[in-house]
Amino acid sequence: MTIPAPAPHEGLCAKLLRSWRGARSLDALQALAPHDRDRVLADAGLTDLTAPAVLRAGHVGALLPAAMALHGVDGAAVEQDRPDLLNDLQRVCALCRGARTCRQLLAEGCTQPEHARLCPNADTLDALR
């Protein structure tokens, strides 16, 4: 199984991830006035505590679409109908410490139950089917 490319539509969290990579991104975020920084983070469903981990999580763009497909979820429909939920899924995926194992499982063509044992988004994905 190959991991699919990210969907052409992406949520705010994914856009932030893509555009604010690395230390420069964190520096740019920290350089904002506190009110502006809080507003940007709140729009993405993040906090000062979760932002660094999310901004460094390069796995979301590949693993979340693959996990959604494995669980039978139409990512484009979620993006269109529930962008807030997509942001939540992206944030949870970004903060997951099992990304390496998830990547390996998906690459090996695991089953949905195998993936569900690892994925913190599994219950939400299963509810979206």
| Residues 75 and 32 both lie in one domain | no
| Residues 22 and 85 both lie in one domain | no
| Residues 39 and 68 both lie in one domain | no
Tokens of 104: 């390996």
In a domain, 81, yes or no: yes
In a domain, 6, yes or no: no
Q: String of b and e for 8-33 (b: at least 16 CB within 10 Å)?
A: eebbbbbebbeebeeeebeeebeeee
- Report the pLDDT value the prediction gives residue 29, as an integer from 0 to 100: 78
| Residues 56 and 42 both lie in one domain | no
- Which value, in Å, is the radius of gyration of the alpha carbons in the chain? 15
- Report the pLDDT value the prediction gives residue 129, as an integer from 0 to 100: 86
CA dist., res. 36 & res. 44, Å (int) = 13
Looking at per-residue pLDDT, the higher value among 4 and 55 belongs to: 55
| Residues 26 and 81 both lie in one domain | no
| Residues 67 and 93 both lie in one domain | yes
When the pLDDT of each residue in the chain is averaged and rounded to a whole number, the result is 82
CA dist., res. 2 & res. 118, Å (int) = 19
Domain limits for position 33:
13-48
Q: Over the stretch 68-85, which tens digit does the pLDDT of each residue have? A: 999 999 999 998 999 889
Residues 6+ apart with CB under 8 A from 114: 105
- Report the pLDDT value the prediction gives residue 117, as an integer from 0 to 100: 96
Q: Over the stretch 15-54, which tens digit does the pLDDT of each residue have? A: 565 554 555 667 777 788 888 888 888 887 777 777 777 7
What mean pLDDT is predicted for residues 90-105? 92
- Report the pLDDT value the prediction gives residue 7, as an integer from 0 to 100: 46
Q: Over the stretch 101-126, which tens digit does the pLDDT of each residue have? A: 999 999 999 999 999 999 999 999 99
| Residues 64 and 96 both lie in one domain | yes
CB 71 within 8 A of CB 112: yes
Total domains, the chain: 2
| Residues 108 and 83 both lie in one domain | yes
CB 7 within 8 A of CB 75: yes
List the Cα angle 3/56/52 in 5-degree steps. Answer: 145
| Residues 43 and 25 both lie in one domain | yes
Looking at per-residue pLDDT, the higher value among 89 and 41 belongs to: 89
